[in-house]
Amino acid sequence: MTWLAAGDFVPPGVDDFFLPPIFGGVTKPMVLLVLSVVIIAAFFLVAASKLKIVPNRFQFAAESVYDFSRNSIAREQIGAKEFRPYVPLILAMFTFVLVNNLFGVIPILQFPTFAHIGFPIALSVFVVYPVYHLSGIRKHGIGKYLKYQLMPSGIPKPIYILLTPIEIFTKFFMNPITLAIRVFAAMFAGHLILLVFTLGGEYLLTEASGPLKPVSVLAWAFAIAMTFLEAFIQVIQAYIFALLTAGYIGAALAEDH
């Protein structure tokens, strides 16, 4: 990270998230993104290669992840009648975001991919956004779909003058942006906090003198505690991303709003 010649501590900032290319124009976050796909595919392929009636631990773990994505997220948010075609998408969203988030606390890797805003924006705008709008249009037709989305029933007609523009802005602009920002902000802030405590502890140990030197141990203790908290938040953020994705699809398919 950055240090002044005089030995003053310069806390980590945004620049520390822009890592130099490994080769060509390929950066570490790009490699981690591809690695996550390989890990997820290998995990489910290996688990499904030798299925048993009484599952071993590996098969049980894979089945638990699938069951959680299918029943606790997709079925609950989309509905029992229409959730099945969307289970693969919800499973993919949950596991993909989860693995990329957890990279932030894995030694050596130690970088949450979604701390770069471009990745969650791409996932939200180019995958989630078209899926839930096209699903609603396919079911209702574009006219009825726009009516359901922009003119909720049971509201006095004059209110639509104010409400409809808000609904347009929310459903067609803010939903994909806020979906991406939630996970990005959590990953960026969490990783930055870990950097502050870790590098601050190193600085106090190597550069400070007198009574400040033992404080480095306290800083590292906080870094360890924050690592466990960050891992918990990473799991929660993956769940929220998949949950909101399913929720948007369920709202698009609903007959009334």
193-210, pLDDT tens digit by residue? Answer: 888 888 887 777 777 666
pLDDT tens digits for range 31-49:
999 999 999 999 999 998 8
Tell me how far apart the alpha carbons of residues 239 and 218 are, in angstroms, rounded to a whole number: 32
Phi first, then psi, for residue 67 (nearest 5°) are: -65, -40
**Which pLDDT does position 197 carry in this prediction?**
84
pLDDT score recorded for residue 209? 67
* Euclidean distance between CA atoms 196 and 188, whole angstroms: 12
Ranges of the chain with pLDDT below 50: 1-6
What pLDDT sits at residue 3?
Answer: 38
Query: What pLDDT shows up at residue 256?
Result: 64
The Cα–Cα gap between 125 and 180 comes to: 8
Name the token pair of 172. 């067609």
The tokens describing 102, both together, are: 């957890």
Whole-structure pTM value: 0.90
What pLDDT is stored for residue 5 in this prediction? Answer: 40
Residue 88 burial (CB count, 10 A): 13
119 backbone dihedrals φ, ψ, rounded to 5° = -70, -50
Mean pLDDT of the chain: 89
What residue segments make up the domains of the chain, in order of their start?
Answer: 14-253
Determine the pLDDT at residue 214.
Answer: 74
Please state, in angstroms and rounded to a whole number, the distance separating the CA atoms of residues 142 and 47.
41
Residue 88 pLDDT: 96
Q: What count of other Cβ atoms lies within 10 Å of the Cβ of residue 68?
A: 16
- The DSSP element (H or E) to which 48 belongs, if any, is helix 28-49
Q: What was the pLDDT predicted at 210? A: 66
